[in-house]
Amino acid sequence: MRKHSLYFALGMMMTACAPQGYEAANDIASQTVQDIACKDQELETKLWDGLKTYLLEQKAIPSAETMKQAMHDQVEKLAQDNPQMTSSDVKRLAGDLDKLVDSLLSEAPQGERVESPEQLLILLSAIDVGDRTTVFRSYMQDKVRGDFNQLKKTVQSFDLNCPPSSSGSGNNTAGTTPATPEPETETETPAQPEPNRDYEYHKQQALNSGTPLAVFGGRWAFATAYQSCQSMQLPSMNDQTPDVQGISIVGKHSDGVGSKRAIASLSKVQSTHYYVRDMSSYGQGCFNVRQNPLIYDYGGKPYATTATDSPIDLFKNNGDGTSVLGIDCSGYVFTSMATAGLRLKAGRALKASDSWAWGSSSYVEPQDNGLTCLSKISVTPAASMKAGDIVAVYGHVLLIDKVGADPFGIASAKTESDCKKITSNSFDFVVAQSAPSKGGIGINYYEARNYLPTSAKMKTGLEKYAYYACMAKITGKTYTPNVGTLSVVRHKGTAECVAPRVKMARESCIQSCSSLAR
């Protein structure tokens, strides 16, 4: 008996008393090893999606040892089907897979002190897209990239038989995950498929009026979130907008920074929430937001699967924030871009599941964190901030919805001394965001001059941008501000950064809107 045949027999004996999670791990291993045999160029993407699907469906962190056992068993099966493989080949391939699994399921979660499947989902997604916002994530980027490169090098050295696709992954659902389950609360009439003409109609209206695609995406996401055309017509929030009542802070997240929120009194939220209080009924196919309001959820991301056609679902809890419905700032910005068909990483497939990947800090230095479709703006004598720009600090990110003729309030400045005196009080633009504003309201439009005093980092950083915009006007020069803690970035809009859009669950509800203009 050949040595690897003996290993195979031992593997089968171990499988008979397989540990918890083995079956799901074996699905991933089966798909991975089949892709190795076929030298599939999508091997890496499928493995990422397989791990993410495991976390979504099993609601548990996969054991590195269980995953390695499953990989070993599948490698032994591969060897049985390919007699030309030597024992050395089997050992080399199994060793490469061990290193990769240890990096992803042992070293990475230990390094960030991952405590839940949702936290690991976000971490693996960040490593997948190229996030380098911390020293540890930069290290893991290089480590995992090296592991994948070594695996690919080993695979290329083999001449293996590619099995029929039907004999591959079994129950692995990566890329073929079933449709999103029904939300927690809904009207009696089930949602109907949203005809493309409705979306295209509103998109064309927006483009005809000169609205940037990113702004349209933000508005589409906003109206869908509130399942309401009426919410779009409300004035942007300001100092006079009352706080929402009935939301309680019930603790801190594990990072010690973000607060956990819960709805303590539904009736108070219904009567005071700026975007919900005047809604009494919802149309056919709409989610009843009044009965289950979306509020600010620190760390909350939209629900999605790894399927290429998965919608972004704001009406099913993803589990990474708290039990309330709602998303955080980066979840809203990603949704705004994706639903408009704007990639964040050049050439990368635009999928709902990437909403887990980029946090607010990633946008501060976009080129370093895989956000290659974004670049920092320059201010010129004639132009500065534009609608559709993204503003990010470490801890928050938002979208610019509207700008006035003089967004930074620099028109009357004549000297550098005047430029140094500009404050956010003179700003004339509107931000679109998901934030704990007004007691935890969540997704909102806010007058910048009224919002910025509540966010010291945003205020300080944007006042520096205002200074450079003012100096550009006075000196006739162009500046690309680099203020360290804040960046204003813009989507490139190039062909490699545009893709078919990602749909949103329940977006058919807003087909009755005559316009999404504000």
- Is residue 190 within 8 Å of residue 285, measured between CB atoms? yes
Boundaries of every domain in the chain: 3-167, 196-512
Question: Roughly how many angstroms between the first and final C-alpha of the chain, as a whole number?
Answer: 75
pLDDT above 70 coverage of the chain, percent:
89
Tell me the two tokens of residue 61: 């962190």
Q: Which residue in the block uniquely carries the two structure tokens 């009224």?
A: 450
* pLDDT (tens digit per residue) in 373-390: 999 999 999 999 999 999
Residue 342 Cα distances to 266, 310, 345, 515, angstroms: 36, 16, 9, 21
pLDDT digits (tens, 9 = 90+) for 306-337: 999 999 999 998 776 778 899 999 999 999 99
Q: State the greatest distance between any 2 C-alpha atoms of the chain, in Å, as a whole number.
A: 89
412, 399 in Cβ contact below 8 A?
Answer: no
What's the pLDDT tens digit per position in 74-128?
A: 999 999 999 999 999 999 999 999 999 999 999 999 999 998 999 999 999 999 9
Give 203-251 pLDDT, tens digit per residue. Answer: 999 999 999 999 999 999 999 999 998 899 999 999 999 999 999 999 9
**Residue tagged 């293996």 (tokens):** 160
Q: How far is CA 105 from CA 48, 98, 330, 370, 474, in A?
A: 12, 10, 25, 22, 55
User: Rounded to the nearest 10 degrees, how much is the dihedral formed by the CA atoms of 259, 262, 267, 272?
Assistant: 20
The full 3-state SS of 377-429, as one line of letters, equals CCECCCCCCCCCCEEEECCEEEEEEEECCCCCCCCCCCCHHHHHCCCHHHCCE
pTM beyond 0.85 = yes
Whether the pLDDT of residue 49 is over 50: the answer is: yes
Closest-CA residue to 339 (of 327, 322, 321): 327
Contact 239, 448 (CB under 8 A): no
Q: What is the mean pLDDT of the chain?
A: 90
